[in-house]
């Protein structure tokens, strides 16, 4: 699939995250201290939290709808950051399922 021109993805520190989303992660993660090393990826004003690997957490992912340029920009923004090993794009073969940016051993709970 051809890469589109990349939109701007702004990386913000974890203290500039949505507190509702952060509280959800605090409940969901085995090690909530990983939020301290998380980053917020902001595209067109909307932000999402990317939580790094660490402890029992071996990987993670962010789902992206049909905007291929955003998908690549998010991958590029995380690539090479500590805690985000092997950042890659995972293409969905199901039109009802979003493409994903994954890191580590893939999506894992906790």
**pLDDT tens, residue order, the chain (110 aa):** 444 455 667 766 556 556 767 777 788 888 888 888 888 888 877 788 899 999 888 999 998 877 888 889 899 999 999 999 999 999 988 888 889 999 998 554 44
**In the prediction, which pLDDT does 1 show?**
46
d(CA 50, CA 60): 8
**In the prediction, which pLDDT does 37 show?**
87
**In the prediction, which pLDDT does 16 show?**
57
**In the prediction, which pLDDT does 100 show?**
92
What value does the CA radius of gyration of the chain take, rounded to a whole number of Å?
A: 13
Q: What is the pTM of this model?
A: 0.77
**In the prediction, which pLDDT does 4 show?**
47
Burial label, 1 (beta-carbon count in 10 A; 0-12, 13-18, 19+): exposed
**In the prediction, which pLDDT does 27 show?**
83
**In the prediction, which pLDDT does 17 show?**
57
């Amino acid at each position: 699939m051809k890469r589109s021109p990349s939109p701007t993805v702004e990386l913000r520190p974890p203290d500039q995250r949505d507190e509702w989303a952060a509280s959800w992660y605090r409940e969901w993660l085995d090690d909530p201290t990983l939020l301290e090393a998380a980053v917020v990826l902001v595209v067109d004003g909307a932000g999402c939290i990317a939580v790094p690997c660490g402890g029992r957490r071996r990987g993670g992912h962010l789902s992206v709808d049909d905007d291929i340029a955003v998908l690549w920009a998010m991958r590029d923004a995380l690539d090479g950051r500590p805690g985000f090993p092997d950042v890659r794009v995972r293409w969905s073969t199901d039109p009802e399922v979003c493409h994903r940016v994954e890191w580590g051993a893939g999506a894992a709970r906790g």
